[in-house]
Amino acid sequence: MSRTSRRHRHQFNWPNVLMRFMIAADFKTQASLAKRSGVAQSTIGRILRGEVCPQAGTASYLAQGLGIPLEALMAAIQGDGLSSEVSLALSKTVEVRFGRRCIEKALETLQREQTDTFHKLETLRQEETEALDRLENLVRGEQLERVMVAPSMEAPSSFKN
């Protein structure tokens, strides 16, 4: 543990604030926040256990991962207790950003599915065209065969003089 983290361990309330923001942003695991923020899961675990306080760069990555401004995270950390109005506003910010991300992901999924459906439709249209061409060729071939096999059109001998 570095000297800085020992000295500041009790000065700031990183574990409680980080956990509160993780819950508000619907991060169920340290690994999910690690993936979103780029901060190692082990580092997040050490912060949550109160073993270390993150450096400014790490705090910035955590704020980005949580979807909140760094200033809001730092205000929450440095405040001994945020007013319920500020806390609620921060939670709402996280919820709105998280909701927007969910909608964006759903839209991306729908766009991918639409593209896949379009490609499938084009493939079906092409297969239909090929099947109609084959059918047309078969019908032409059968008609040609009938013409070639048809009995001669001469009058029967009984009608001849």
Report domain extents, the chain.
Answer: 3-99
Q: Are 89 and 50 in contact (CB under 8 A)?
A: no
Give pLDDT tens digits for 41-53.
999 999 999 999 9
Three-class secondary structure assignment of 128-140: HHHHHHHHHHHHH
Q: How far apart are CA 20 and CA 26, in angstroms?
A: 10
Return mean pLDDT, the chain: 80
Q: What pLDDT is attached to residue 145?
A: 74
DSSP, res 45 = H
- Hey, which of 8-22, 54-68, 94-108 has the most confident mean pLDDT? 54-68
pTM: 0.48
* Residue 72: closest CA among 17, 16, 110: 17
72: CB partners within 8 A, 6+ apart: 63, 90, 93
Q: What pLDDT is attached to residue 25?
A: 79
148: burial class by Cβ within 10 Å (0-12, 13-18, 19+)?
exposed
Q: How far apart are CA 94 and CA 25, in angstroms?
A: 6
55 Ramachandran zone, left/alpha/beta (phi>0; psi -120 to 50): beta
Count CB neighbours of 144 within 10 A: 10
CATH architecture of residue range(s) 3-99: Orthogonal Bundle (1.10)
